[in-house]
Amino acid sequence: MTPESDRRRSEARMPERTSAPQPGGLRDLVASSWLRARAARLEPELAAAPLDLDADALDDLRAAHPLAAALPVVRRLLVQDAEPGSGVLVAVGDARGRLLWVEGDPGLRAKAEGMRFVEGADWSEATVGTSAPGTALAVDRGVQIRADEHFAETVKPWSCTAVPVHDPEHGELIGVLDVTGGSDAAAAHVLPLLVATAAAVERELLIERLRRPARSRPKPTRRTGAARLSILGRDTGELVGATGERTTLSARHSELLALLAWHRGGIGAEALAALVYGDAPSTVTLRAEIVRLRRALAGVAPELGPLARPYRLGAELELDLGGVVELQRRGAHRAAVEAFGGGPLPGSASPGVAELHADVAAGLREALLESGSADLLLAWGRDRGRDDAEVWRAALHALPRLSPKRAIAVAALERIERELG
């Protein structure tokens, strides 16, 4: 290590300076973060962390990430105090803001699923706006974000503190440590604790690295990513390129891109035309639309430009609908249902989009039936399964004998029986 690298890391760990509130009542640090979120066209009511890594990708990244070697240090200094009832979560993320490990109070972890504070989720400023992990990475220094200072509405009940972690030799940003919970998570003593933990982590990484032969030491890596398409609850998709450019697609291009992303192995022209247009599909019309789609992608994600025979995307495209499936697979059923929302492209008449909606909804329904969560089953019955007797019976079975909510399930079952005859 050099004196210069020591100076950079010391400055990066320093907390933000407290300054006079901005006109809107926000500190300089928070006001600047909100401006960045608005410049990225985020909306407080809609901003949410996408699930950026599926199970396999998460396992691979964990195994290869340098912070894996220092995880025992983090657990010893932070996690062992985050026991059941502590009201504290400890997260370790990579340099892009993706959460690799989330540990701590089990009850709080279940609640945090509702805002998708889960392993594999992207908590960068570009996706959720102001939050401790994302903002700490954006400004490269320790920060504390309290309640209403968060940009996204779903995160405002929480408070958090985060500190960036740097490569001990090169000074490159490699990750972030975060403590999330109630107001205590942003108490005055938490930031110095995280600063000390980050220093201990970097020291452990240096010691571990010096033990290896020079030829096996890792080299700094550059940030890479895939383009991402958001279609849940939207009639037109929003495409974010790998380097952050954004565009709103037409309804037809949204359908095409979503279907190509879902059928990753490729799909024939006739089959794709049938999924997009329905009856009497025209492959000539499809080919012309594919040409227009390539042009639309050129300025944001040219690497996606569809290839033919069979039709397929030229590069990986992350689909927010896939994040719902991954949440369900991990058992985060509440977060999966909330993320699914109005489903993919709810205004679309495309048979293929209808199939996507039906397939994912069926998977969620089966997961809820297996989980036996009374509240989730009641919500599903109310919002999506009004005539689904099996869901209402499962909810009735899951409710305590004296629960007043049993009347809701009983009334629904009686109505279904009457309507059937």
Q: Give pairs for 336-342: CB < 8 Å, separation 24+.
A: 336/364, 336/367, 337/364, 337/368, 337/376, 337/379, 337/380, 338/114, 339/48, 339/51, 339/116, 339/232, 340/232, 340/364, 341/232, 341/233, 342/232, 342/233
Domains, the chain: 3-216 (3.30.450.40), 227-371 (no CATH)
Q: How do the pLDDT tens digits run along the chain, 421 residues long?
A: 444 444 444 444 433 433 333 435 678 899 999 999 988 888 999 888 988 888 888 888 898 899 998 999 999 888 876 566 778 899 999 999 999 999 988 889 889 988 999 999 999 998 999 999 999 999 999 999 999 999 999 999 999 999 999 988 778 899 999 999 999 999 999 999 999 999 999 988 888 877 665 444 444 443 446 899 999 999 999 999 888 888 999 999 999 999 999 998 889 999 999 999 987 778 899 999 999 999 999 889 999 999 988 999 999 899 999 888 887 877 778 888 888 888 999 999 999 999 999 999 999 999 888 877 888 899 899 988 899 999 999 999 999 988 999 999 999 999 999 998 7
Q: How far, in Å, CA of 249 to CA of 86, rounded?
A: 45
Contact in structure between 365 and 377 (CB atoms under 8 Å) = no
* Burial class of residue 125 (count of CB atoms within 10 Å of its CB; 0-12, 13-18, 19+): buried
> What H or E segment, with its residue span, contains residue 92?
strand 88-94
Q: How far, in Å, CA of 398 to CA of 403, rounded?
A: 10
pTM value is: 0.54
Q: Which 3 state secondary structure label does DSSP give 310?
A: coil
> What H or E segment, with its residue span, contains residue 13?
helix 3-13
Q: Omega of the bond prior to 23 within 30 degrees of 0, cis?
A: no
Q: How far, in Å, CA of 374 to CA of 397, rounded?
A: 8
> What H or E segment, with its residue span, contains residue 180?
strand 173-181
> What H or E segment, with its residue span, contains residue 361?
helix 351-371
Q: Which of 162, 102, 100, 108 is nearest to 130 (CA)?
A: 162
